[in-house]
Amino acid sequence: MEYSPPPLFKQGASARVKMTVFACISIALLLVDSRMHTLTTVRKAAATVLYPLQMAALLPRDAIYGVGDYFSTLSALEKQVRELKRQQIAGALVLQQAQLQTAENGQLRRLMDAREHLPVKSMLAEILYDARDVNSRKVILDRGTQQGVALGLPVIDNQGVVGQVTRVFPFTSEVTLLTDKEQAIPVQLLRNGLRSVAYGRGKSGALELRFTAPNADIQVGDIVVTSGLDGVYPAGLAVARVSQVENSAAGSFGGVVCQPLAGIANNTQLLILMSTPEMPPRPPDEELRALKKHNNKMAPIKEAPKEGVDPAPAGTAPAPAPAGPPGLMPVMPPPAPKPAPAATPAANAPTNAVKPATGTPAPEQAAPPAAPPKEPAR
């Protein structure tokens, strides 16, 4: 027999109606937040209020990790110390050479009046936990606006680029990893300088170089670094290593898959770069509008007219026709009227002279009588 509470204890709507109402409210809040971003202040306030609770919830985990680190074996620690000393000795020579090259590079840049590459200020941060969204690749750091973290700052580790700060709270910040589907970063190959754009592939944890030519000079094992063209990531940071190249002659673009070099899933300590590369200032809007208006007014270059020069005025000899464009016959101007001939002896007057006014032939003058033929000698 099914048990049901007495009518006195039945209060409010049924569970199905409550679920429907709360589902509609949740959907409405999601739409409002995604379209108009009206809940940003509420989210920041909630994150500030819940921050002590989050830290308290992480205390047991930190305590377990601390106990495990405390009871680490002495042999493992000694081995780690020896390895670190070896790396320090090996890196001392490289560091000295790098310092010498940096000094020479600065001197050459000063001679060439070029801008020097200034060191980038960074801040150490720790990963608190991963984001709850399974469809994205994000982590939460223990640094926020109170420590100077701003939106859009790049995040790296000791091996390469990790991601970018995409949301900031007073005491924490959210970092979208490089492998997220919504992330893209301008890169170039370290071997030949070929530029491209790396896109995240989501759950696979890999990167993809899209829109590359099928005959592009890309090989498996090439190192991909940041190009610095986006104004966010400094140039020269390691990003990934090419693991697969698919060149198809039938397709318009080739497929290139890369594996990130940074320990995205292993490290707990990250570096936040507190400054982004300086980009040249954008021209003012008035200058852009004037330039666009000037470009619209520019007419296309037309061919020179195929006409000859104007006819010379009366009483002057016609000027020679100018040479036209190559391959075209010059058009001769109409003949100018000839001036009246000067008075000359009749013997020198030409026959069939042309009158200057009418252009009709003049009457022929009488020729002198011919001499009689001589008789042959007998």
Burial grade of 323 (CB within 10 A; 0-12, 13-18, 19 or more) = exposed
> Where is 173: in which H helix or E strand?
strand 173-177
- Say yes or no to pLDDT of 87 above 80: yes
**Which tops the pLDDT comparison, 72 or 128?**
128
**How far apart (Å, rounded) are the C-alpha atoms in residues 13 and 201?**
46
**Which tops the pLDDT comparison, 214 or 189?**
189
* The pLDDT of residue 23: 93
Task: Using the structure block, give the residue that is written with the tokens 């819940």.
Answer: 50
Task: Provide the residue ranges of all domains of the chain, joining segments of one domain with +.
Answer: 10-69, 72-117, 125-273
* The pLDDT of residue 351: 44
* The pLDDT of residue 214: 80
pLDDT tens readout for residues 268-301 = 889 999 876 665 566 677 776 777 776 666 545 5
* The pLDDT of residue 223: 94
Out of 76-85, 148-157, 195-204, 262-271, pick the least confident.
262-271
The reply to whether the predicted model has a pTM over 0.85 is: no
pLDDT tens readout for residues 246-276 = 876 555 677 899 999 988 777 788 999 987 6
**How far apart (Å, rounded) are the C-alpha atoms in residues 239 and 208?**
12
Instruction: For the chain, give the percent of residues with pLDDT over 70.
Output: 67
Q: Under DSSP, is residue 308 helix (H, G, I), strand (E, B) or coil?
A: coil
Average pLDDT over residues 171-180: 92
Q: 175 φ, ψ to 5°? A: -115, 125
**DSSP code of residue 361:** B
**DSSP code of residue 354:** B
165: number of CA atoms within 13 Å, CB side? 29
* The pLDDT of residue 32: 84
Angle, CA 114 vertex, CA 109 and CA 118 arms, to 5°: 80
The mean pLDDT of the chain is 76
Instruction: Grade residue 146 by pLDDT with cuts at 50, 70 and 90.
Output: very high
* The pLDDT of residue 252: 67
String of DSSP letters for 51-73: HHHHHHHHHHHHHHHHHHHHT--
> Where is 174: in which H helix or E strand?
strand 173-177
**Which tops the pLDDT comparison, 152 or 356?**
152
Average pLDDT over residues 96-125: 76
Highest mean pLDDT among 30-44, 45-59, 67-81, 101-115: 45-59
Instruction: Grade residue 356 by pLDDT with cuts at 50, 70 and 90.
Output: very low
Average pLDDT over residues 197-216: 87
* The pLDDT of residue 116: 53
Domain 125-273 sits in which CATH superfamily?
Rod shape-determining protein MreC, domain 2 (2.40.10.350)
Contact 272, 165 (CB under 8 A): yes
Q: How far is CA 155 from CA 136, 146, 175, in A?
A: 17, 17, 8
pLDDT tens readout for residues 19-64 = 999 999 999 888 888 888 777 888 888 888 988 898 898 898 888 8
Task: Using the structure block, give the residue that is written with the tokens 């090259």.
Answer: 101
